[in-house]
Amino acid sequence: MPRRILVVDDEPDNDLVLDAILEENGFEVDCYADPLSALEKFKPNMYDLLLLVIKMSKMDGFQLSKEMKKIDNKVKTCFLTACEIYYEQFRKGEEFAVLSKDLFLRKPIQNDEIIQQVKRIMD
């Protein structure tokens, strides 16, 4: 049974690229450009991994992760961003202890590196 990944990025082009890369490597992928829609449709035990961009309109990736963890506290999370400030916010934030098993990736990132990191997180 393929592992399921939820991708949330408010840039539709990024969603398409991540969807293609992940599906080519055997993952089942659902993509949302709207974090509120993703949260509304999120159910427990539906996904193995959340792949969330941090800087989004309506709700950032940190907030979205917190809300989704209330629904399914076992789902793993990987954050993506191109901004160093968000990395520092993540590292220094109070929630870092809670999110210590989660992963943070900085963009730009190579396709093979995304797959390698996703597989590492899920194993």
- The pLDDT tens digits for 53-104 are 988 888 989 899 999 999 999 999 988 877 655 555 555 655 544 444 457 6
Output the pLDDT for position 100: 42
Beta strands in 13-75 (DSSP E): 28-32, 49-53
For residue 87, the domain's CATH number is 3.40.50.2300
Output the pLDDT for position 97: 45
Residue 40: give the domain boundaries: 4-122
Instruction: Choose among 22, 89, 27, 78: nearest CA to 52.
Output: 78
- Distances in Å between the Cα of 113 and the Cα atoms of 98, 117, 118 are 25, 6, 8
Q: What is the mean pLDDT of residues 27-47?
A: 96
Note if the bond before 12 is cis, omega within 30 degrees.
no
- The pLDDT tens digits for 3-19 are 999 999 988 888 889 99
Task: Decide which of 30 and 82 is more confident.
Answer: 30
Q: How many domains does the chain have?
A: 1
Cα end-to-end span (Å), the chain? 14
